[in-house]
Amino acid sequence: MIQISHLTKLYDGKPVVDDVSLTVERGQIAALVGTSGSGKTTLLRMINRLVTPSSGQVLIDGQDTAAIAPHLLRRRIGYAIQGHGLFPHRTVGQNIATVPRLLRWSADDIRARVDELLTLFQLDPDAFRDRMPHELSGGQQQRIGVARALAAKPDLLLMDEPFGALDPVIRAKAQADLRQIQRQLGTTLVLVTHDMAEAILLGDRIAVMDRGKLVQYAPPADILRAPATPFVEALIGPDMRPFHLLSLTPAFQIATEGHAIGAPIPREATLRDALAECLWSGRDALPVEGGGVVTLAALRQRAAP
Protein backbone atom coordinates (compact mmCIF):
# COMPACT_ATOMS: atom_id res chain seq x y z
CA MET A 1 0.00 0.00 0.00
CA ILE A 2 1.14 3.53 -0.81
CA GLN A 3 -0.08 6.39 1.35
CA ILE A 4 0.68 9.89 0.10
CA SER A 5 -0.11 12.55 2.68
CA HIS A 6 -0.14 16.31 2.02
CA LEU A 7 2.72 16.01 -0.46
CA THR A 8 4.04 19.32 -1.81
CA LYS A 9 6.94 20.29 -4.04
CA LEU A 10 7.98 23.92 -4.45
CA TYR A 11 10.22 25.35 -7.16
CA ASP A 12 11.21 28.99 -6.65
CA GLY A 13 8.50 29.20 -4.03
CA LYS A 14 5.75 28.05 -6.39
CA PRO A 15 3.99 24.69 -5.91
CA VAL A 16 4.41 22.18 -8.72
CA VAL A 17 2.64 19.59 -6.58
CA ASP A 18 0.28 21.20 -4.11
CA ASP A 19 -0.86 19.35 -0.95
CA VAL A 20 -1.71 16.02 -2.60
CA SER A 21 -3.06 13.11 -0.55
CA LEU A 22 -4.10 9.72 -1.90
CA THR A 23 -3.83 6.00 -1.16
CA VAL A 24 -3.05 3.19 -3.59
CA GLU A 25 -4.09 -0.20 -2.26
CA ARG A 26 -1.84 -3.23 -2.67
CA GLY A 27 -2.23 -4.85 -6.09
CA GLN A 28 -4.00 -1.87 -7.66
CA ILE A 29 -3.07 0.25 -10.66
CA ALA A 30 -3.35 4.00 -10.04
CA ALA A 31 -3.12 6.15 -13.18
CA LEU A 32 -1.96 9.75 -12.78
CA VAL A 33 -3.39 11.78 -15.64
CA GLY A 34 -3.33 15.45 -16.57
CA THR A 35 -2.01 17.94 -19.08
CA SER A 36 1.66 18.84 -19.43
CA GLY A 37 2.85 20.71 -16.34
CA SER A 38 0.07 19.38 -14.11
CA GLY A 39 2.57 17.89 -11.65
CA LYS A 40 1.93 14.20 -12.31
CA THR A 41 5.54 13.23 -13.13
CA THR A 42 6.90 15.22 -10.16
CA LEU A 43 4.41 13.43 -7.91
CA LEU A 44 5.53 10.06 -9.26
CA ARG A 45 9.21 10.86 -8.75
CA MET A 46 8.63 11.88 -5.15
CA ILE A 47 7.47 8.32 -4.42
CA ASN A 48 10.97 6.92 -5.06
CA ARG A 49 12.70 10.17 -4.03
CA LEU A 50 14.12 11.03 -7.43
CA VAL A 51 12.55 14.34 -6.38
CA THR A 52 12.68 15.35 -2.71
CA PRO A 53 9.35 16.64 -1.34
CA SER A 54 9.22 20.13 0.12
CA SER A 55 6.72 18.85 2.66
CA GLY A 56 4.42 15.92 3.23
CA GLN A 57 4.97 12.21 3.57
CA VAL A 58 5.06 9.02 1.51
CA LEU A 59 4.48 5.70 3.29
CA ILE A 60 5.01 2.36 1.58
CA ASP A 61 3.47 -0.48 3.57
CA GLY A 62 3.49 1.82 6.58
CA GLN A 63 7.18 2.78 6.30
CA ASP A 64 8.14 6.41 5.77
CA THR A 65 10.30 6.59 2.63
CA ALA A 66 12.20 9.53 4.13
CA ALA A 67 13.72 7.09 6.62
CA ILE A 68 15.21 4.90 3.85
CA ALA A 69 18.44 5.72 2.01
CA PRO A 70 17.41 6.77 -1.53
CA HIS A 71 19.55 4.16 -3.33
CA LEU A 72 18.14 1.38 -1.15
CA LEU A 73 14.60 2.64 -1.66
CA ARG A 74 14.99 2.65 -5.45
CA ARG A 75 16.23 -0.93 -5.48
CA ARG A 76 12.92 -1.92 -3.91
CA ILE A 77 10.81 -0.01 -6.44
CA GLY A 78 10.66 -0.83 -10.15
CA TYR A 79 10.85 2.19 -12.47
CA ALA A 80 10.08 2.23 -16.18
CA ILE A 81 10.12 5.30 -18.40
CA GLN A 82 9.12 6.34 -21.91
CA GLY A 83 11.60 5.10 -24.46
CA HIS A 84 12.57 2.17 -22.19
CA GLY A 85 15.95 3.62 -21.06
CA LEU A 86 17.91 0.43 -21.80
CA PHE A 87 21.68 0.48 -21.54
CA PRO A 88 22.72 0.35 -25.23
CA HIS A 89 26.00 -1.54 -24.69
CA ARG A 90 24.50 -4.27 -22.49
CA THR A 91 22.66 -7.32 -23.73
CA VAL A 92 18.99 -7.89 -23.03
CA GLY A 93 19.89 -10.31 -20.25
CA GLN A 94 22.37 -7.89 -18.70
CA ASN A 95 19.82 -5.08 -18.82
CA ILE A 96 17.18 -7.16 -17.05
CA ALA A 97 19.75 -8.28 -14.47
CA THR A 98 20.76 -4.74 -13.46
CA VAL A 99 19.08 -4.54 -10.04
CA PRO A 100 19.49 -8.22 -9.08
CA ARG A 101 23.24 -7.79 -9.63
CA LEU A 102 23.25 -4.74 -7.35
CA LEU A 103 21.42 -6.84 -4.77
CA ARG A 104 24.10 -9.55 -5.15
CA TRP A 105 21.84 -12.31 -6.36
CA SER A 106 23.66 -15.49 -7.39
CA ALA A 107 24.42 -15.99 -11.08
CA ASP A 108 22.03 -18.95 -11.23
CA ASP A 109 19.20 -16.96 -9.66
CA ILE A 110 19.81 -14.05 -12.02
CA ARG A 111 19.77 -16.25 -15.10
CA ALA A 112 16.60 -17.99 -13.93
CA ARG A 113 14.88 -14.65 -13.33
CA VAL A 114 15.95 -13.27 -16.72
CA ASP A 115 14.59 -16.34 -18.49
CA GLU A 116 11.41 -16.26 -16.40
CA LEU A 117 10.69 -12.66 -17.37
CA LEU A 118 11.54 -13.14 -21.05
CA THR A 119 9.12 -16.07 -21.12
CA LEU A 120 6.49 -14.02 -19.30
CA PHE A 121 6.76 -11.32 -21.96
CA GLN A 122 6.52 -13.94 -24.73
CA LEU A 123 10.15 -13.56 -25.79
CA ASP A 124 12.12 -16.79 -26.24
CA PRO A 125 15.06 -16.62 -23.78
CA ASP A 126 17.45 -18.44 -26.12
CA ALA A 127 16.59 -16.04 -28.94
CA PHE A 128 16.60 -12.78 -26.98
CA ARG A 129 18.87 -13.15 -23.93
CA ASP A 130 22.07 -12.20 -25.76
CA ARG A 131 20.67 -9.64 -28.19
CA MET A 132 21.58 -5.97 -27.99
CA PRO A 133 18.85 -3.33 -27.58
CA HIS A 134 19.36 -1.93 -31.10
CA GLU A 135 18.47 -5.37 -32.50
CA LEU A 136 14.96 -5.18 -31.01
CA SER A 137 11.78 -3.55 -32.26
CA GLY A 138 10.33 -0.62 -30.33
CA GLY A 139 7.70 -2.84 -28.72
CA GLN A 140 10.30 -5.42 -27.72
CA GLN A 141 12.53 -2.74 -26.21
CA GLN A 142 9.62 -1.45 -24.16
CA ARG A 143 8.85 -4.95 -22.89
CA ILE A 144 12.48 -5.39 -21.86
CA GLY A 145 12.34 -2.05 -20.04
CA VAL A 146 9.34 -3.24 -18.03
CA ALA A 147 10.97 -6.63 -17.45
CA ARG A 148 14.06 -4.88 -16.05
CA ALA A 149 11.84 -2.88 -13.70
CA LEU A 150 10.26 -6.12 -12.46
CA ALA A 151 13.49 -8.11 -12.20
CA ALA A 152 14.04 -7.82 -8.44
CA LYS A 153 10.39 -8.72 -7.75
CA PRO A 154 9.39 -5.29 -6.45
CA ASP A 155 6.05 -4.90 -4.73
CA LEU A 156 5.75 -1.47 -6.36
CA LEU A 157 6.29 -0.43 -9.98
CA LEU A 158 6.36 3.19 -11.16
CA MET A 159 5.88 3.94 -14.86
CA ASP A 160 6.26 7.35 -16.49
CA GLU A 161 4.59 7.55 -19.92
CA PRO A 162 5.92 4.07 -20.73
CA PHE A 163 4.05 3.66 -24.02
CA GLY A 164 4.16 7.22 -25.33
CA ALA A 165 6.76 6.50 -28.03
CA LEU A 166 5.02 3.43 -29.46
CA ASP A 167 2.79 3.37 -32.50
CA PRO A 168 -0.92 2.71 -31.83
CA VAL A 169 -0.92 -1.01 -32.71
CA ILE A 170 2.15 -1.85 -30.61
CA ARG A 171 0.91 0.42 -27.83
CA ALA A 172 -2.41 -1.43 -27.58
CA LYS A 173 -0.57 -4.77 -27.33
CA ALA A 174 1.83 -3.38 -24.71
CA GLN A 175 -1.08 -2.08 -22.62
CA ALA A 176 -2.83 -5.45 -22.76
CA ASP A 177 0.39 -7.27 -21.83
CA LEU A 178 0.99 -4.95 -18.90
CA ARG A 179 -2.51 -5.41 -17.52
CA GLN A 180 -2.29 -9.19 -17.79
CA ILE A 181 1.16 -9.40 -16.21
CA GLN A 182 0.26 -6.96 -13.42
CA ARG A 183 -2.75 -9.08 -12.54
CA GLN A 184 -0.65 -12.23 -12.65
CA LEU A 185 2.10 -10.86 -10.40
CA GLY A 186 -0.09 -8.74 -8.10
CA THR A 187 2.29 -5.79 -8.38
CA THR A 188 1.10 -2.39 -7.16
CA LEU A 189 1.55 0.04 -10.03
CA VAL A 190 1.50 3.82 -10.35
CA LEU A 191 1.38 4.99 -13.96
CA VAL A 192 1.76 8.50 -15.38
CA THR A 193 -0.02 9.21 -18.66
CA HIS A 194 -1.41 12.19 -20.54
CA ASP A 195 -3.90 9.91 -22.28
CA MET A 196 -7.28 9.59 -20.54
CA ALA A 197 -8.17 6.54 -22.66
CA GLU A 198 -5.03 4.77 -21.39
CA ALA A 199 -5.81 5.77 -17.80
CA ILE A 200 -9.34 4.39 -18.12
CA LEU A 201 -8.12 1.17 -19.74
CA LEU A 202 -5.40 0.42 -17.19
CA GLY A 203 -6.34 2.18 -13.96
CA ASP A 204 -8.27 0.70 -11.05
CA ARG A 205 -8.33 4.30 -9.85
CA ILE A 206 -7.51 7.50 -11.71
CA ALA A 207 -5.88 10.57 -10.13
CA VAL A 208 -6.58 13.69 -12.20
CA MET A 209 -4.00 16.45 -11.70
CA ASP A 210 -4.54 20.09 -12.64
CA ARG A 211 -1.93 22.79 -11.96
CA GLY A 212 -0.37 20.78 -9.16
CA LYS A 213 -3.58 19.89 -7.38
CA LEU A 214 -5.39 16.57 -7.20
CA VAL A 215 -8.87 17.43 -8.45
CA GLN A 216 -10.39 13.94 -8.51
CA TYR A 217 -9.32 10.45 -7.42
CA ALA A 218 -11.80 7.69 -8.12
CA PRO A 219 -12.47 4.51 -10.13
CA PRO A 220 -12.77 5.13 -13.89
CA ALA A 221 -16.55 4.59 -13.98
CA ASP A 222 -17.09 7.20 -11.27
CA ILE A 223 -14.93 9.75 -13.07
CA LEU A 224 -16.75 9.14 -16.35
CA ARG A 225 -20.21 9.39 -14.81
CA ALA A 226 -19.52 12.23 -12.39
CA PRO A 227 -16.50 14.37 -13.33
CA ALA A 228 -15.64 16.59 -10.36
CA THR A 229 -14.69 19.73 -12.29
CA PRO A 230 -15.05 21.20 -15.80
CA PHE A 231 -11.36 20.38 -16.31
CA VAL A 232 -11.99 16.67 -15.68
CA GLU A 233 -14.97 16.75 -18.01
CA ALA A 234 -12.87 18.39 -20.73
CA LEU A 235 -10.10 15.83 -20.23
CA ILE A 236 -12.60 13.01 -20.74
CA GLY A 237 -14.03 14.65 -23.85
CA PRO A 238 -17.85 14.78 -23.70
CA ASP A 239 -18.22 13.06 -27.07
CA MET A 240 -15.89 10.26 -25.97
CA ARG A 241 -17.67 9.31 -22.74
CA PRO A 242 -19.81 6.52 -24.25
CA PHE A 243 -16.73 4.92 -25.84
CA HIS A 244 -14.75 5.20 -22.61
CA LEU A 245 -17.59 3.50 -20.74
CA LEU A 246 -17.59 0.67 -23.28
CA SER A 247 -13.87 0.16 -22.66
CA LEU A 248 -14.56 -0.74 -19.00
CA THR A 249 -16.46 -3.95 -19.75
CA PRO A 250 -15.06 -7.14 -21.32
CA ALA A 251 -17.14 -8.58 -24.13
CA PHE A 252 -17.80 -11.93 -22.47
CA GLN A 253 -19.83 -10.22 -19.74
CA ILE A 254 -22.66 -9.39 -22.15
CA ALA A 255 -22.27 -12.37 -24.48
CA THR A 256 -25.53 -14.24 -25.12
CA GLU A 257 -26.32 -17.56 -26.74
CA GLY A 258 -26.32 -17.54 -30.50
CA HIS A 259 -24.25 -17.97 -33.64
CA ALA A 260 -22.22 -15.46 -35.60
CA ILE A 261 -19.89 -15.86 -38.57
CA GLY A 262 -16.24 -14.85 -38.70
CA ALA A 263 -13.28 -15.10 -36.36
CA PRO A 264 -14.14 -14.76 -32.64
CA ILE A 265 -12.95 -11.80 -30.64
CA PRO A 266 -10.83 -12.52 -27.53
CA ARG A 267 -12.78 -13.19 -24.36
CA GLU A 268 -11.19 -10.19 -22.63
CA ALA A 269 -11.70 -7.80 -25.57
CA THR A 270 -13.63 -4.74 -24.40
CA LEU A 271 -17.04 -3.71 -25.65
CA ARG A 272 -15.30 -0.79 -27.34
CA ASP A 273 -13.09 -3.28 -29.21
CA ALA A 274 -16.19 -5.24 -30.18
CA LEU A 275 -17.97 -2.13 -31.47
CA ALA A 276 -14.94 -1.17 -33.54
CA GLU A 277 -14.79 -4.68 -35.03
CA CYS A 278 -18.50 -4.64 -35.88
CA LEU A 279 -18.23 -1.29 -37.61
CA TRP A 280 -15.00 -2.20 -39.41
CA SER A 281 -16.17 -5.60 -40.63
CA GLY A 282 -19.81 -4.68 -41.25
CA ARG A 283 -21.06 -7.52 -39.04
CA ASP A 284 -24.14 -7.34 -36.81
CA ALA A 285 -22.81 -9.90 -34.33
CA LEU A 286 -19.45 -11.30 -33.24
CA PRO A 287 -18.59 -14.69 -31.74
CA VAL A 288 -16.66 -14.53 -28.47
CA GLU A 289 -13.87 -16.96 -27.58
CA GLY A 290 -15.24 -19.45 -25.08
CA GLY A 291 -18.81 -19.19 -26.34
CA GLY A 292 -21.61 -16.75 -26.96
CA VAL A 293 -22.03 -13.75 -29.23
CA VAL A 294 -22.06 -9.99 -28.85
CA THR A 295 -24.50 -8.11 -31.06
CA LEU A 296 -24.18 -4.66 -32.55
CA ALA A 297 -27.61 -3.79 -31.14
CA ALA A 298 -26.46 -4.62 -27.61
CA LEU A 299 -23.31 -2.57 -28.07
CA ARG A 300 -25.27 0.44 -29.30
CA GLN A 301 -27.61 0.13 -26.34
CA ARG A 302 -24.63 0.11 -23.95
CA ALA A 303 -23.13 3.16 -25.68
CA ALA A 304 -26.35 5.18 -25.47
CA PRO A 305 -26.18 8.16 -23.02
Q: Assess whether 82 and 37 both reside in one domain.
A: yes
Q: Please give the single-letter amino acid code of residue 97.
A: A
Q: Assess whether 108 and 151 both reside in one domain.
A: yes
CATH number at residue 193: 3.40.50.300
Q: Assess whether 158 and 227 both reside in one domain.
A: yes
The answer to whether residue 88 sits within a structural domain is yes
Q: Assess whether 134 and 273 both reside in one domain.
A: no
Residue 89 has pLDDT above 70, yes or no: yes
Model pLDDT for residues 50-86, shown as the tens digit of each residue: 999 999 999 999 999 999 999 889 888 988 877 667 8
Residue 59 or 152, more confident: 59
The pLDDT of 275-297, averaged and rounded, is: 91
The pLDDT of 80-104, averaged and rounded, is: 87
What secondary structure, in 3-state letters, does the chain show? Answer: CEEEEEEEEEECCEEEEEEEEEEECCCCEEEEECCCCCCHHHHHHHHCCCCCCCEEEEEECCEEHHHCCHHHHHHHEEEEECCCCCCCCCCHHHHHCHHHHHCCCCHHHHHHHHHHHHHHCCCCHHHHCCCCHHHCCHHHHHHHHHHHHHCCCCCEEEEECCCCCCCHHHHHHHHHHHHHHHHHHCCEEEEEECCHHHHHHHCCEEEEEECCEEEEEECHHHHHHCCCCHHHHHHHCHHHHHHHHHCCCEHHHHCECCCCCCCCECCCCEHHHHHHHHHHHCCCEEEECCCCEEEHHHHHHHHCC
Q: Assess whether 200 and 261 both reside in one domain.
A: no
pLDDT of residue 174: 76
Quick one: what percent of the chain has pLDDT higher than 90?
Answer: 56
Task: Give the model's confidence band at 305: pLDDT under 50 very low, under 70 low, under 90 confident, else very high.
Answer: low
The answer to whether residue 243 sits within a structural domain is no
The residue range of the domain holding 279 is 249-303
pLDDT of residue 83: 60
For the chain, what is the domain count? 2
**Listed residues 206, 237, 268: the one ending a domain:** 237
Q: Assess whether 18 and 54 both reside in one domain.
A: yes
pLDDT of residue 44: 96
Q: Assess whether 190 and 269 both reside in one domain.
A: no
Quick one: what percent of the chain has pLDDT higher than 70?
Answer: 97
Residue 198 has pLDDT above 80, yes or no: yes
Task: Give the model's confidence band at 165: pLDDT under 50 very low, under 70 low, under 90 confident, else very high.
Answer: low
The answer to whether residue 242 sits within a structural domain is no
Q: Assess whether 253 and 231 both reside in one domain.
A: no
Q: Assess whether 199 and 296 both reside in one domain.
A: no
Q: Assess whether 85 and 105 both reside in one domain.
A: yes
pTM: 0.84
Q: Assess whether 218 and 297 both reside in one domain.
A: no
CATH number at residue 255: 3.90.1280
The pLDDT of 153-167, averaged and rounded, is: 81
Residue-averaged pLDDT of the chain: 90
Q: Assess whether 71 and 119 both reside in one domain.
A: yes
CA–CA separation, 264 vs 195, rounded Å?
A: 29
Q: Pick the range with the lowest mean pLDDT from 69-83, 107-121, 246-260.
A: 69-83
